[in-house]
Structure 1
Amino acid sequence: MKSIEHIDPIFERLFSKINPQIADSFTDEQLKAIQRGFGSQVGARHSLDIRVSVPIPGLRFYLVLLAGSERRSQQRLQNEKGIYPLFNTGNIIFLTGFLAILLSCSFTIFSFLWSSFSPISTSAYPTSIPWIFDKSECEHTSRTWRNEKCWDDQHSPTF
């Protein structure tokens, strides 16, 4: 490959896939023009750029999330709609799972927050005491013997 100053790694990787005889036929001016074309992509960083390999045994899986200001032309946007449709089987499964997880997490968080702001009932509820089996022991502890069970009328739900 001919010498070019400041070789872009993306350009170098793609250029290395070109047949060496064809690559040698490019003039320095052509190489610089091609590199400028690739170079315009290097400086275009996204505001949000998350690239993660997901370690699933037996699968090679990755996830990319990009966001930023839209700089693509209307023509390119129309072309990419056909190449990368939003509603396909994989996307629908992923979005459904993501929304299910989001809703269940939201429900859990809001339930927790709601319960922390709701007043706790201080009412007493009668409950049977399972370790007291006779009437005299029950009445000795100031409880009520009823239906062959010892009942505590002052049991707190926060106990």
Structure 2
Amino acid sequence: MNNGHYTDPTFERLFAQINPQIASTFTDKQIEALKKAFSYNKSSRHFLDIRVSIPIPRLEFYLVLLAGSERRSQNRLRSEKGLYPFWTLSNSLFIIGFSIILLICSFTILSFILSSLNLTSTLYYPTSIPWISDKSECEYTNRVWRDDKCWDYKHSPNF
């Protein structure tokens, strides 16, 4: 039935389901008209078309994400609204899970970016060092002994 021409796999699958006695009655023109009806139409392509199978053991799972300009009629939109309601339990769980993952990833990335910016302060604050109680030890560490305390005048708040 292929006759050396490319045929849409969807057409091939559907045509194979037709009773062979009925399929044999189709003329070449009718078969070509059916192929044309099933053929790939570039104008029907979506701006965003992601189709992926997700390998989860013991589950046959796939994800399709389509986006583009709306070309469906108002009648079709109304009829599909009843066939494919948006707020179902599984859709809601997916949206909640996806939102949590997105929030965690965003927080992690933002934390990484902020930590890599190395936001060190150039301001220093005088601070007494409580674990040094000896003048010689204080001066040995390049600090100042005053009022019986060891003072560090270059103490960074990031310490």
Residues 20-29 or 136-145, more deviating: 136-145
- Using the TM superposition, give the Cα deviation of residue 144 of structure 1 relative to its aligned residue in structure 2, in angstroms: 5.6
Name the residue aligned to 1:18: 18
Aligned residues: 153
| Alignment map for 1:42-61 (pairs within 5 Å) | 42-43=41-42, 44-61=44-61
Percent of pairs identical after alignment?
51
With structure 1 as the length reference, what TM-score do the two structures score? 0.67
Paired residue type of 2:121: I
What is the DSSP-based 3-state SS (H/G/I as helix, E as strand, rest coil) of the residue aligned with 1:62?
strand
With structure 2 as the length reference, what TM-score do the two structures score? 0.67
1:138 aligns with 2:140: no
What is the DSSP-based 3-state SS (H/G/I as helix, E as strand, rest coil) of the residue aligned with 1:25?
coil
2: CA distance, partners of 1:139 / 1:69 = 73
Stretches of structure 2 that go unaligned for 5 or more consecutive residues are none
1: CA distance, partners of 2:89 / 2:61 = 17
1: CA distance, partners of 2:5 / 2:138 = 97
Name the residue aligned to 2:124: 123
1: CA distance, partners of 2:58 / 2:136 = 65
Stretches of structure 1 that go unaligned for 5 or more consecutive residues are none
Name the residue aligned to 2:82: 82
Does the 8 Å contact 1:123/1:156 carry over to 2? yes
In structure 2, relative to structure 1, the CA distance for the partners of 1:66 and 1:123 (3 Å cut) is same
2: CA distance, partners of 1:57 / 1:128 = 59
